[in-house]
């Protein structure tokens, strides 16, 4: 008899994509990482960490970091929680707020980690289709007969953004918990975040991360905003010392250099828009993106399963993009935005492959 719970044995481990060997010169455009390094403030903070800092336990509640986040976003410290990446925040949501008999509605396609965590907790996850252009339909979500709605906004892997007015309509008219995951919001149009809405709606929880625009994927720092009662409940359920002292220091330093963050976001946005136009010139259909990646469909003249073939041929050339097997995505590629040089190399390789 297996000690492992039967429903866990039936699951497949979550996969975030292929990691090429470090140092082999690969162009990594498959994990939506920031192509630019963190702020120099972050590097200085890293080099300033001494032996005693490592010897002592970190602040279990991340008070200094939460205070800085609250000041930046105009909320109270008690409305903020930090985690070991947004992935821990997501898992914590299930532990604290979601019961086994609940139904979670999430637009499809979207960030599949929510489905994986739901399966671990034996919670039903309902895929609510997006429209033909992959935009989210609020009415369909409201009609989903669910207890919880998860909205990744801008959405991954589509890059689509639901306007604040539509998100507010969703939160206002839904009686249960609405989780808005804003991992990519800093690459979107200004004033696209719904963090200000937590003051008006007690059923809203906003998830954020330092991984994307702050270039701190490796430090694993996530955070969220909600009403004080929800945050207090999450504090009871979280792991002790869940954010290590190095990550707390690096996140604080990153927040202190907002100009670097803004420059990075603007640079990525310019590269994204230019690369999207280049893809269209090659015959690709490109979904308008508000993120640091684009979702695109190769030209129709390519033989069957053209997206997968391009994915494999690019990998042979040491260029990594993302291919998904799922319905509505199997004819598409998701391409992270790298430096201008990297995107030029990719464009030239695609041009050569399409001419063959």
- Look at the chain and report how many structural domains it folds into: 2
User: Residue 287 pLDDT > 90, yes or no?
Assistant: yes
Do the Cβ atoms of 29 and 43 come closer than 8 Å?
no
Q: Please give the full DSSP string across 169-217, using - where no structure is assigned.
A: HHHHH-SSEEEEE-TTGGGS-TT---GGGGGT-TTEEEEEESSSTT--G
Closest CA to 81 of 220, 201, 221, 182: 221
> Pick from 257, 286, 308: which residue ends a domain?
257
Distance CA 244, CA 228 (A): 24
**What is the tens place of the pLDDT at every residue in 121-175?**
999 999 999 999 999 999 999 999 999 999 999 999 999 999 999 999 999 999 9
Does the residue 160 lie in any domain?
A: yes
User: Residue 338 pLDDT > 80, yes or no?
Assistant: yes
Confidence of residue 24 (pLDDT cuts 50, 70, 90): confident
Same domain, 81 and 153: yes
Same domain, 20 and 149: no
Query: What pLDDT is attached to residue 12?
Result: 85
Does the residue 141 lie in any domain?
A: yes
Q: Please report which helix (H) or strand (E) contains residue 236, including its range.
A: helix 228-237
Q: What is the CATH number of the domain that holds 266?
A: 3.90.1150.10
Does the residue 1 lie in any domain?
A: no
Same domain, 248 and 200: yes
Distance CA 175, CA 178 (A): 9
Same domain, 249 and 272: no
Query: What pLDDT is attached to residue 163?
Result: 98
Residue 310 is part of which domain span? Answer: 6-38+259-355
């Amino acid at each position: 008899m297996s000690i492992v719970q039967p429903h866990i044995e039936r699951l497949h481990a979550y996969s975030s994509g292929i990691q090429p060997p470090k140092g082999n010169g690969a162009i990594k455009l498959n994990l939506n990482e920031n192509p630019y390094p963190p702020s120099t403030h972050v590097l200085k903070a890293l080099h300033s960490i001494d032996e005693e800092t490592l010897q002592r336990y970190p602040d279990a509640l991340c008070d200094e970091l939460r205070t800085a986040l609250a000041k930046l976003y105009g909320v109270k410290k008690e409305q903020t929680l930090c985690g070991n990446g947004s992935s821990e925040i997501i898992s914590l949501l299930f532990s604290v707020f979601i019961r086994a008999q609940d139904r979670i509605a999430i637009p499809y396609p979207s960030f599949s980690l929510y489905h994986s965590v739901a399966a671990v907790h034996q919670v039903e996850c309902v895929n609510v289709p997006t429209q033909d252009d992959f935009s989210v339909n609020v009415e369909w979500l409201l009609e989903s007969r669910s207890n919880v709605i998860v909205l990744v906004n801008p959405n991954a892997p589509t890059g689509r953004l639901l306007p604040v007015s539509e998100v507010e309509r969703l939160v206002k008219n839904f009686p249960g918990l609405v989780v808005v995951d804003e991992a990519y919001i800093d690459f979107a149009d200004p004033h696209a975040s719904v963090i200000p809405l937590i003051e008006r709606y007690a059923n809203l929880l906003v998830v954020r991360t330092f991984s994307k625009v702050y270039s701190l994927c490796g430090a694993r720092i996530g955070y969220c905003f909600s009403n004080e009662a929800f945050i207090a409940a999450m504090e009871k359920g979280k792991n002790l010392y869940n954010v290590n002292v190095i990550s707390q220091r690096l996140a604080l330093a990153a927040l202190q250099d907002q100009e670097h963050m803004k420059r990075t976001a603007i640079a990525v946005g310019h590269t994204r828009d230019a690369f999207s136009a280049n893809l269209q010139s090659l015959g690709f259909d490109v979904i308008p993106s508000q993120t640091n990646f684009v979702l695109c469909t190769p030209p129709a003249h390519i033989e069957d399963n053209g997206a997968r073939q391009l994915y494999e041929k690019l990998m042979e050339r040491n260029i990594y993009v993302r291919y998904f097997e799922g319905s509505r995505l199997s004819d598409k590629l998701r391409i992270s935005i790298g430096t201008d040089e990297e995107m030029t190399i990719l464009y030239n390789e695609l041009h050569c492959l399409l001419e063959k």
